[in-house]
Chains A and B, each alone.
Chain A
Amino acid sequence: MARRNLGQGPTSDGSRRVLGLLVLAALTVITLDARTGDDSPLNPVRSAVGSVVGPVENATATVTRPISDLADYFTTNKSLRDDVATLSADNARLRNEVSTEPLDRKRLAELDSLTRTASETGYSLVAARVIALGPVQSFSRTVTIDAGTSAGLTKNMTVLNNDGLVGRVVQVTRSTATVLLIVDTESVVGGRLGTNSEIGFLRGRGTIGGAGRLDLELVDNAVAPSRDDVVVTWGSDNGVPYVAGIPIGKVESVVSSPRQSSRVAVIAPFVDFTALDVVGVVVPKGTQGDRTVITQGGSR
């Protein structure tokens, strides 16, 4: 192969000899340096070379500083972008926190008064949040809450919030429950007038807005409910479906027509059904679940 090289044929052997010598030299240097370690004979040479090359490198670094700044500009561009992304994420999170703060405050107040309700009424409550509102298209006024059988909920439990009666549980899954609101047309609640303990039945009108009203039909036709009289639940055996003594609303007006045999009182509910958030489900005492049960003595 060496013979093929033009003009190198005669020097090929010499070239090989030089190579051998150089490799030997390199190996010698390596051995010298590797074997002797810290007191290597090459250290003086190293420091001598360093004292020559070092300043040159220093000067080069000084001269090329603008290049380094330029490089810094490019390399930090990415980290700056990262910073911007992180900061805007932080910003969004904080802004979100600030904007939801009134909501959290309100929620806390609701929970607080729910605890008070529990201690006033003596019922055990499971706190839950309304997570969905049934569509109007299905012609029933229901909401979904985020507590289910795992929290000890079953069908026909009373649902209330700090204002008054909300409805009752009609469907339960493991983690959610459907609550039929008392303003639904299907809902019938036994009610009692606060002043004279007269009983009657409340039916919803199916609207939940500001005009959401209930009709109270008293059992005794002779009784005339007075304005602003408070209606509370009548209650039943074992508190199914409604426990007793939960405020529902107050009498807004009394409608009586000659053709009708009974008087109908229009009740304005205490609960604002369009702004339902934290609700309490009345559960039997000693209910075990994955959720805190608020009782008279506190929460457990």
Chain B
Amino acid sequence: MTAFRDAALVLVVGLAVVAQSVIFRFVAVDGVVPNLALIVVVAAAISRGSQFAAVLGFATGLLLDLAPPADHVAGRWALALVVVGYLAGRVRQDARTSPVMAVGLVAAMSFVGTSVFALTGVVLDDGVLPVDLTIKVLLISVLWDVALAPFLVPGLVWLVDRLGSYGRTTGSLASTYRMP
């Protein structure tokens, strides 16, 4: 059962990574697509806490770094999503109790994640855009994630809850969320 749940999680993450580069390129605004992988990580953080989310963020980020369209230094998204997963997990109680907070959390994490990614790019001198353009990309990506969060976060939280609700200590918290 654990193997199945892990496989399902990998599938969700993989789906997010593929979808954001294949499907959402049709609706890209100035080339910026919603960061579905980041939304998945935030949802996982809301559902299961910072430790789990950080690990999932690392894996998801690594997949983003290595999957075909990527041509940047590997590990940058991994680092960004680790930070996102950890931070999102720290404030998950607030995000659990109100959908507005959840959307706000996605917005904040989107900003943090993209910023961390951009900053590592600056440090590594890898794919750096001018500052004004970077800020524009940052804003569009935050708006994208905020626009999609209300539709995706509840479902993803529910899904991660389901996938992790067997015999885990954090699972009890998830069930209290669904039936307050």
Contact = CB atoms under 8 A, between A and B. Distances in A.
- Chain A complexes with chain B: yes
A207 B61 CA distance: 90
B144 interface: no
Contacts of A23: 79, 82-83
A46 B49 CA distance: 29
Nearest to A45: B66
Interface in A1-50: 1-2, 5-8, 11, 14-15, 18-19, 22-23, 25-34, 40, 42, 45-46, 49-50
B93 A5 contact: yes
B4 interface: no
B46 interface: no
Interface in B48-81: 49-51, 54-55, 57-58, 61-63, 65-68, 73-76, 78-79
Chain B: interface size category: 35 or more
Residues of B contacting A: mostly: helix
Nearest to A34: B73
Contact of B78 (A1, A7, A15, A26): A26
Given A30-B120, A34-B126, A8 B49 contact: yes
Contacts of A34: 73, 124, 126
29 contacts: A1-B90, A7-B173, A15-B49, A15-B86, A19-B54, A19-B82, A23-B83, A25-B78, A26-B75, A26-B78, A26-B82, A29-B65, A29-B78, A30-B73, A30-B78, A33-B73, A34-B73, A34-B124, A42-B66, A42-B74, A49-B66, A50-B68, A53-B68, A54-B68, A56-B18, A57-B21, A60-B22, A67-B26, A70-B26
Given A7-B172, A33-B73, A57-B68, 10 more contacts: A5-B90, A15-B89, A22-B55, A23-B82, A26-B58, A30-B78, A34-B124, A57-B18, A60-B23, A70-B26
Interface of A: 1-2, 5-8, 11, 14-15, 18-19, 22-23, 25-34, 40, 42, 45-46, 49-50, 53-54, 56-57, 60-61, 64, 67-68, 70-72, 75
